[in-house]
Amino acid sequence: MATATVLAMPGHGVACKPNTNNNFFSKASSATGTVNMNWRCRSTAAMATMTVVKRETAREKAEAEDDWMAYLSPEKVDVLAQLEPWAEAHVLPLLRSADTAWQPSDMLPDPAALGADGFHAACVELRERAAGVPDAHLVCLVGNMITEEALPTYQSVPNRFEGVRDLTGADGTAWARWIRGWSAEENRHGDVLSRYLYLSGRVDTGAVDRTVHRLIASGMAMNAARSPYHGFIYVAFQERATAISHGNTARHAGEHGDDVLARVCGAIMADEKRHEAAYTRVVGKLFEVDPDAAVRAFAYMMRRRITMPAALMTDGRDDDLYAHYAAAAQQTGVYTAADYRSIVEHLIRQWRVEELAAGLSGEGRRARDYVCGLPRKIRRMEEKAHDRAAQARKKPTPIPFSWIFDRPVSVVLP
């Protein structure tokens, strides 16, 4: 989960923040050596200084758009159509039916089954165990739940991919049935976490509900949003990241004595790993049938980073809510920069990128080399960031979270 970084323009001393309305991160300009972003600054002088950078960004963004738009050609879209029988045989079997999948009612106290007294006793026990979960971990859990609850946005993501979209909402293609079945399974995740948090009595449900509402209304920004090559790479990465986050939450919950939460998050993690397997298979097949296009799409997405789906979350009060939530996740070990690197390393191995040779163009070879060199670069950046943090000896900053009644959580901000 990449956190927003607050910088100051040289010579102005004016704090400038990345524009949260535009999550496009462009490559460093070879001419200026600067990283091109869109910024919002209150200083007129700073705005004038950034004008050149914005022009650079617009040019590079146009070039990048031309790059991924080529993936919408009939030839590329037909690749997905030709893979439909393969998807029927190798992707759809990874779904679970409503009768075989776990349901939220299996995980939490059921008043109809337990009766009034039994339900009350079960809820008291659940609250006692939930009380042992530290606030920092609770904030991460709420953030994960809010992310899961924005499912309407996520179902729309693969429905933008050319060649696999569910055009009528009830198409019988393998791709359309996967999208609906995947969404049905994902729907249980937000439901069970929301019910758990409600029963725990530890969160301001109104503040949480309003954050969910705002996140769905805000949507999410995604690079190359209509390309199935780029899109499936994005979702494969996201599913693994989500599995890691829920898995770490399950482990932490167990360490703090909340076996119910550990079971819930463990079940979600298992789902996410199965979904990851499906999307990884799809991309692996694209690497098999169209390696040059696949590796170039992989490099494209990595150059622009994988933007987390909840990056636009806000509670209406904290403009940096996502950054604060991400800082809590980093500090608690729920999801860290090292996890991001490990996912890149895993996907390189999974798709055997280093072994690619036959069928690659010059651009494809450059993309392969770039991707394969990324883990080493990210590790160096981690080491430098760690050294800078050690030298700066930054003290934790108490951040109040509306989700937990404005109780402060101390986090180290970047």
Answer yes or no: 65 catalytic: no
- The pLDDT value recorded for residue 353 is 98
For 24-168, where are the alpha helices, taking DSSP H only? Answer: 44-69, 74-82, 84-90, 104-107, 111-130, 135-149, 151-156
Answer yes or no: 182 catalytic: no
Neighbour-count burial for 334-361, b at 16+ CB within 10 Å, e otherwise: bbbbebbbbbbbbbbebbebeebeeebe
Cβ neighbors of 83 (< 8 A, separation 6 or more) are 282, 285, 289
Of 252, 275, 276, 339, the active-site residue reads 275
Neighbour-count burial for 247-285, b at 16+ CB within 10 Å, e otherwise: bbbbbbbeebebebbbbbbbbbbebbbbbbbbbbbbbbb
- The pLDDT value recorded for residue 392 is 63
Contact predicate 203/197, CB 8 Å: yes
Reference 372, options 345, 343, 351; nearest CA is 345
Question: DSSP readout, 29-55?
Answer: PTTT-PBP--EE-S-HHHHHHHHHHHH
Give pLDDT tens digits for 88-106: 999 999 999 999 999 999 9
Neighbour-count burial for 190-205, b at 16+ CB within 10 Å, e otherwise: bbbbbbbbebbebbbe
Answer yes or no: 56 catalytic: no
Of 84, 102, 213, 382, the active-site residue reads 102
Place of tokens 């950034």: 50
Contact predicate 56/36, CB 8 Å: yes
Of 137, 189, 230, 324, the active-site residue reads 189
Of 166, 185, 271, 276, the active-site residue reads 271
Q: Can you tell me the distance from the alpha carbon of 229 to that of 162, in angstroms, rounded to the nearest whole number?
A: 10
Contact predicate 47/55, CB 8 Å: no
Cβ neighbors of 373 (< 8 A, separation 6 or more) are none
Place of tokens 């509402």: 213
Answer yes or no: 351 catalytic: no
- The pLDDT value recorded for residue 66 is 73
- The pLDDT value recorded for residue 58 is 75
Give pLDDT tens digits for 202-247: 999 999 999 999 999 999 988 888 999 999 999 999 999 999 999 9
The sheet carrying 15-18 orders its strands as 7-8, 15-18, 39-40
- The pLDDT value recorded for residue 42 is 32
Place of tokens 């199935």: 228
- The pLDDT value recorded for residue 69 is 87
- The pLDDT value recorded for residue 382 is 83
Q: Is 24 left (phi over 0), alpha (psi -120 to 50) or beta?
A: beta
Answer yes or no: 137 catalytic: no
Answer yes or no: 84 catalytic: no
- The pLDDT value recorded for residue 302 is 95
Q: Spell out, as residue ranges, where the chain has pLDDT lower than 50.
A: 1-56
Amino acid residing at 101: A
Give pLDDT tens digits for 36-58: 333 333 333 333 333 333 444 77
Reference 108, options 204, 195, 203; nearest CA is 195
Of 39, 68, 148, 149, the active-site residue reads 148
Of 166, 239, 258, 290, the active-site residue reads 239
By CB neighbour count within 10 A (0-12 exposed, 13-18 middle, 19+ buried), where does 123 fall?
Answer: middle
- The three-point CA angle 220-226-231 to 5° equals 70
- The pLDDT value recorded for residue 391 is 64
Neighbours of 332 (CB within 10 A): 20
Of 242, 249, 307, 332, the active-site residue reads 242
Neighbours of 404 (CB within 10 A): 19
Q: Can you tell me the distance from the alpha carbon of 313 to that of 322, in angstroms, rounded to the nearest whole number?
A: 6
Q: Can you tell me the distance from the alpha carbon of 84 to that of 233, in angstroms, rounded to the nearest whole number?
A: 18
Answer yes or no: 272 catalytic: yes
- The pLDDT value recorded for residue 23 is 37
Structure tokens at 398: 């108490």
What's CA 158's distance to the chain center, in Å?
15
Contact predicate 412/394, CB 8 Å: yes
Of 149, 166, 185, 186, the active-site residue reads 186
Q: Is the dihedral of CA 172, 95, 302, 189 positive or negative?
A: positive
